[in-house]
Amino acid sequence: MLMAPFTVSPLFLTFSDVSEEDLAIMAVAKTRREIKNVLKKCMNIDQSPGFRTEILVDFHYHNYAFCISRQLCPQKISTFLSAMRVVLKESISQRLTVDGAFDVLKECLLKHGVERPPHSVGVFPFEDVKVLLEYAHQTLFRHYRLYMYVYSPQSDLDFWVANADVCCPLPLPRLPPLLSEDAVDPQTVPELAVYFPPSPVPSESPLVQELAARVPAEDSAVIKRKIEEGTKALMEKFEMKLNEQDARFAAALSK
């Protein structure tokens, strides 16, 4: 397993994993390996040797090295190391998104940022909280997907192809040949009418336009007058016939 679960969840994280004695031992350690061995014991890393164990130990070591570079006191170092452990543990066990993991860290730091017992304790001032959140953003959360990939359960799938006794597929039926007399004009098919828009109405040919332009203006006036006179005569004749028809109807009704 990745990390042994808490038997009893502590209310506050100060000296819950890394004690003052452990910090004193790491302060006088001569090599990086000695510091990592102490952190491995404090964080209950009981995995067999491998790249997952090395990544986890390096994770805690770099957190410790950052605290030393900021010259934090033992109380702050222990609290921050445990907070980062809680964030990674909760992220892996609950499959949190990066936003969810950030909320866990923020809650841990704020819980240790205000002296208000029994709800919170004042371990980190506001400036330290900002610095620690920025560090976590540049380290854990920048490579968050890599951590989730490394510590996610892996499943190996083995498959093989077996020769099964199956019948041969039936041959496809032969299609009848296409004959030329069966061809149709696509423009006569109603379903294809959308692909053949109607041809535009042809305009007058240039020859007709040229002949019309040659007609003198006075001839056009004469033609227009004759058309009007003929139309007037037809209307008078038509009206006369209507009057005669009305007279016959009136005479028939009076009998």
Q: What is the pLDDT of residues 103-114, one digit of tens each?
A: 999 999 999 998
Query: Would you place residue 233 in the very low, low, confident or very high pLDDT band (cuts 50, 70, 90)?
Result: confident
Q: Return mean pLDDT, the chain.
A: 82
Q: Which two tokens stand for residue 126?
A: 């506001």
Residue 39 CB neighbours (<10 A): 24
Whether 5 has a pLDDT exceeding 60, the answer reads no
Query: Would you place residue 4 in the very low, low, confident or very high pLDDT band (cuts 50, 70, 90)?
Result: very low
Cite the DSSP H helix spans in the chain.
20-27, 32-42, 51-69, 74-94, 98-111, 126-138, 144-150, 206-214, 217-254
Contacts of 115 (CB under 8 A, 6+ apart): 121, 122
**pLDDT: is 253 or 46 the higher one?**
46
Annotated domain spans of the chain = 20-151, 204-254
Conformation bin of residue 59: beta by default, left when phi > 0, alpha when psi is -120 to 50: alpha
Average pLDDT on 34-42 reads: 94
Query: Would you place residue 8 in the very low, low, confident or very high pLDDT band (cuts 50, 70, 90)?
Result: low
Contacts of 68 (CB under 8 A, 6+ apart): 77
